[in-house]
Amino acid sequence: MAGSGKNHLRSESENIILKVEDLVVEFPSSKKDFVHAVSNISFDLETGETLGIVGESGCGKSSTAKAIIQLPKPKSGSVLFKGTELMNLAKEELRKIRPKLQMIYQDPISSLNPRRNVFEIVNEGSKIWGDLGQETSALIESVGLDPDEARTKKPHEYSGGQCQRISIARALALNPQILICDEPVSALDVSVQARIINLLEDMKSQFGLTVIFISHDLSVVKNISDRVSVMYLGKMCEIGDSDLIYEKPAHPYTRVLLAAIPDPENMHSGTVDLLEGELPSAINPPSGCRFRTRCPRAEAICEKEEPVLVQIGNEDHWVACHFPHIDIELDALTSEKGEPIDRITEDEILWPPAD
Ligand SMILES: Nc1ncnc2c1ncn2[C@@H]1O[C@H](COP(=O)(O)OP(=O)(O)OP(=O)(O)O)[C@@H](O)[C@H]1O
Ligand code: SF4
Ligand SMILES: [Mg+2]
């Protein structure tokens, strides 16, 4: 299955804080149909790492994030946080563990209580959970806001960027170990985006956080992530070291996303045609590879057989595609069983592009 396969999980690492396996999220859409929002994806996070998750609107990024914190509980799969299986926890046990896994929601303004002042909102966590070691005024100050003003103002009196900072402060007040940021900067203009990203990086080192950073914009994710995972229609297409993904994108979809970044120095612009058409319906996704209906390289096998994530060379770079863009001289593919894959022939080398 495209995006399935688990060879990319780092089972030998002792530093794994979160391991997600075979995650499935479905929503009922009618009496007998389901939206297949997330279909069998697996990934892990090392302590202190930032994983970027990218993909176009509707590919399942938020559903993945919410499934990790079990809001709502996913249909199936495993979410292992520091060795504890969250899928098996009863409500009360889950409630106790939640402060450690904090999420900044996609729409910060609507996630902030409009009736409370901002100081109360940030302070709320310590009221519920007792002193978690974070001083509210200092936290508000650390995200660049005035604590005295925060005692009198409500969320609607702040700008979008400021509300994003309030959400960050509120999450950090609970002293989390993992911070999930769902499109934290998409609604903001570029200068505010940069400020929020810098703030997140400062907070990350100051609080020793592990971060999942979600965005539809690869250029934003690039600056903050150690590893990047690319999603398409509920599947994972490519995952690995963020520099490798940016320098040698192997999945046709990743290449389209990179080519679309509006930057005059973008080395990928013009290398591929931009995507046309809408994301297919997640109720009845295409068979085989879910990207095949929009992929310029699709062949008969792509309809029949879903590709699994396989390793490129010996690097931290994994792709789920029957015909990835790789340099076969340098980057042999290894199957899930550790055997070399020889499906790609010399005339199919597409990285670097032939012309
Ligand atoms: N509560 C819900 N009920 C029904 N369908 C849902 C629900 N939440 C999400 N979906 C559907 O699940 C799929 C994945 O949605 P999701 O919100 O996870 O995507 P996303 O990648 O976060 O998109 P965006 O970039 O727009 O935020 C979409 O088809 C969406 O319409
Ligand atoms: S070449 Fe085939 S497997 Fe690869 S992305 Fe295109 S359709 Fe999917
Ligand atoms: Mg979303």
Q: Is the bond preceding residue 72 a cis peptide, omega within 30 degrees?
A: yes
SS3 assignment, position 211? strand
Residue 329's pLDDT band, with cuts at 50, 70 and 90, is low
Cut 0.75: pTM above it:
yes
CA pair distance 256, 241, nearest whole angstrom: 18
Domain annotation covers residue 262: yes
Strands 227-232 and 333-334: unpaired
CATH code where residue 30 lies: 3.40.50.300
CA pair distance 58, 282, nearest whole angstrom: 8
For 189-204, write each residue's pLDDT tens digit. Answer: 777 788 888 888 888 8
Tokens of 230: 């690319």
As for how many domains the chain has, the answer is 1
The average pLDDT across 35-58 equals 96
To the nearest 10 degrees (0 to 180), the angle between helices 160-172 and 118-129 is 20
CB of 6 within 8 A of CB of 44?
no
What pLDDT sits at residue 87? 97
Pocket test for ligand 1, best of 27, 71, 75, 186 (most atoms within 8 A of CB): 27
Q: How far is the CA of 266 from the centre of ligand 2 (A)?
A: 24
Domain annotation covers residue 137: no
Domain annotation covers residue 52: yes
The average pLDDT across 59-78 equals 96
What pLDDT sits at residue 354? 36
**Integer angstrom CA distances of residue 168 from 58, 98, 197, 235, 299:** 24, 16, 11, 28, 45
C-alpha 321: how far from chain center: 20
CA pair distance 326, 162, nearest whole angstrom: 43
The answer to whether residue 33 scores a pLDDT higher than 50 is yes
Domain annotation covers residue 41: yes
Domain annotation covers residue 234: yes
C-alpha 20: how far from chain center: 12
For 90-132, write each residue's pLDDT tens digit. Answer: 999 999 999 999 999 888 778 899 999 999 999 987 766 666 5
Helices (H), 69-176: 91-97, 118-129, 136-142, 147-150, 160-172
What is the residue range of 236's domain?
1-82+214-355
Domain annotation covers residue 304: yes
In the structure, which protein residues have their CB atom closer than 6 angstroms to any atom of ligand 1? 27, 35, 37, 55, 57-63, 106, 216, 282
Domain annotation covers residue 246: yes
Residue 40's pLDDT band, with cuts at 50, 70 and 90, is very high
Domain annotation covers residue 351: yes
Please write down the long-range contacts of 96-99, taking CB distance under 8 Å and 24 or more positions apart: 98/69, 99/125, 99/129, 99/132, 99/174, 99/175, 99/176
Ligand 2 atom nearest to 253, measured from its CA: 5
The answer to whether residue 17 scores a pLDDT higher than 80 is yes
